[in-house]
């Protein structure tokens, strides 16, 4: 339940109302006493400070791109990939090719296609922000998602390299429209927008450090066999909802 809903629960029970009206009769009309019940905040999620570890070892070597500040919630919008198991054989094949890097290689979990960067939202904006997203995603149809090849990316801080499946042309057109809708909401909340030239992809393996140049040339050596593996094991999927993660809260928006 949102903090707003708790505020709207303010009020008094009928017994108390009777006592109050007796009391109010005794008071001057201009100084009526209104007694408010305290809201029950026991269900409001509170994240203990201990859960925010700053030690990169606790995150598989990942470095937080902005420091944790109480009240600031890391937020991003994405398409969740529903068939994670189908990636298994392609991931194994890639790990084989990447054997020289095996100490810094990690298989991605919660595979997704990002529609925004990770932005920082303040707690009191969570409800209006998700309502704005709901508004821009209204009347959007489900669509088919497929991939066209393997591509290497590096994050903006150059601390992590990603081996990813790049989406195909028709998926790109749909994702572009969605990320523009998301950008409209981000603009409204004065938050950083997505890339000017977004390249929609699903990261499946990540490595520490900037290894983009060497991994791009390694991937192009195996281009033909990787594309064959991709075509044989990864089928197109229907995207019927969009997702938003805000801190430890998950929101889902159903498409038509
Ligand atoms: P993701 O798997 O969505 O977290 O993306 C992995 C990384 O790709 C992110 O850290 C982005 O910074 C990076 N990236 C680099 N260039 C682009 C681009 N043109 N479009 C989208 N992501 C990009």
Tens digit of pLDDT for each residue in 179-200?
A: 999 999 999 999 999 999 999 9
What is the reported pTM?
0.78
d(CA 232, CA 218): 21
Nearest CA to 103 among 203, 218, 208? 208
The whole-number pLDDT of residue 74 equals 96
What pLDDT score does 34 carry?
Answer: 54
- Among protein residues, the one with the nearest Cα to ligand 1's atom 4 is 114
Predicted confidence at residue 203, as pLDDT, reads: 97
Query: Tokens in use for 135?
Result: 């508004």
Which residue carries 């991931």 as its tokens? Answer: 91
Residue 7: pLDDT band (50, 70, 90) is very low
Q: Is 162 in the pocket of ligand 1 (CB under 6 A)?
A: yes
Q: Which of 62-71, 140-149, 158-167, 174-183 has the lowest mean pLDDT?
A: 62-71
The mean per-residue pLDDT over the stretch 1-11 comes to: 31
Mutation test residue for ligand 1: of 153, 194, 196, 208, the one with most atoms within 8 Å of CB: 153
3-state DSSP assignment of residue 208: strand
Which residue has the least CA distance to atom 12 on ligand 1?
Answer: 155
**C-beta of residue 80 within 8 angstroms of C-beta of residue 86:** no
For atom 22 of ligand 1, the residue with the nearest CA is 199
Report, as residue numbers or ranges, the catalytic residues. Answer: 112, 201
Task: For ligand 1, say whether the CB of 196 is within 6 Å of any of its atoms.
Answer: no
From the CA of 113, give the closest atom in ligand 1.
Answer: 3
14 vs 32, which has greater pLDDT? 32
- Ligand 1 and 155: CB distance under 6 A: yes
Q: Which residue has the tokens 């005794």?
A: 26
- Give pLDDT, residue 63: 55
pLDDT at 211 over 70: yes
User: Using 50, 70 and 90 to split pLDDT, how confident is the model at 220?
Assistant: very high
Question: What pLDDT digit, counting tens, does each position of 91-133 carry?
Answer: 999 999 999 998 899 999 999 999 999 999 999 999 999 999 9
Give the per-residue pLDDT at 60.
53
**160 near 154, Cβ under 8 Å?**
yes
Q: Report the run of H or E that residue 62 belongs to, with start and end.
A: none
Average pLDDT over residues 67-73: 79
Indicate if the pLDDT at residue 20 is higher than 50.
no
The residue whose CA has the least distance to atom 10 of ligand 1 is 155
Its CATH class, for the domain covering 68-254, is alpha beta
Sequence-distant (6+) residues with CB within 8 A of 48 are none
Half-sphere exposure of 44 (CA within 13 A, CB side): 11
Within 8 A by CB and 6+ apart from 197, the residues are none
Ligand 1 in reach of 118 Cβ (< 6 A): no
How distant, in Å, are the alpha carbons of 74, 122, 191, 208 from that of 68? 9, 12, 17, 21
| Nearest-CA residue for atom 7 of ligand 1 | 155
Pairwise pLDDT comparison (8 vs 50), residue with the higher score: 50
d(CA 111, CA 113): 7
Given a cut of 80, whether residue 43 has pLDDT beyond it is no
Cα(15) to ligand 1 centroid in Å equals 59
* CB 182, CB 136: distance < 8 Å: yes
- What are the sequence ranges of the domains in the chain? 68-254
Find the 25 Cα to ligand 1 centroid distance in Å.
67
Residue 31 scores a pLDDT above 90: no
pLDDT of residue 103: 87
158 exposure class (CB count in 10 Å sphere: 0-12, 13-18, 19+): exposed
How many residues appear in the chain? 256
For residue 135, give the DSSP letter: H
Q: How far apart are CA 201 and CA 115, in angstroms?
A: 10
Cα(215) to centroid(ligand 1), Å: 15
Atom of ligand 1 nearest to the CA of 162: 6
* Cα(59) to centroid(ligand 1), Å: 19
What's the mean per-residue pLDDT of the chain? Answer: 82
Contact 119, 129 (CB under 8 A): no
Task: Give the pLDDT score at 102.
Answer: 85
């Amino acid at each position: 339940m949102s903090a707003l809903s708790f505020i709207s629960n303010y009020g008094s029970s009928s017994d108390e109302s009777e006592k109050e009206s007796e009391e109010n009769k005794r008071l001057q009309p201009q100084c009526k006493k209104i007694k408010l019940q305290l809201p029950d905040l026991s269900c409001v999620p509170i994240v203990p400070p201990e859960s925010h570890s700053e030690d990169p070892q606790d995150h598989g070597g990942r470095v937080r791109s902005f420091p944790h500040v109480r009240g600031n919630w890391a937020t991003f919008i994405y398409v969740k990939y529903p068939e994670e198991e189908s990636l298994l054989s392609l991931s194994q094949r890639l790990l084989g090719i990447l054997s020289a890097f095996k100490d810094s290689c990690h298989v991605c979990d919660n595979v997704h296609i990002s529609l925004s960067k990770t932005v920082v939202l303040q707690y009191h904006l969570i409800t209006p922000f998700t309502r704005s997203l709901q508004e821009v995603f209204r009347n959007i149809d489900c669509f088919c998602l497929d991939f066209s090849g393997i591509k290497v990316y590096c994050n903006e801080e150059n601390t992590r390299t990603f081996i990813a499946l790049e989406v195909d042309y028709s998926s790109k057109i749909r994702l572009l429209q969605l990320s523009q809708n998301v950008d409209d909401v981000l603009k409204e909340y004065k938050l950083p927008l997505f890339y000017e030239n977004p390249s929609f992809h699903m990261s499946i393996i990540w490595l520490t450090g900037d290894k983009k140049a060497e991994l791009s040339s390694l991937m192009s050596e195996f281009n033909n066999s990787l594309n064959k593996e991709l075509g044989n094991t990864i089928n197109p999927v229907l995207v019927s909802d969009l997702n938003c993660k805000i801190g430890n809260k998950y929101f889902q928006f159903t498409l038509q």
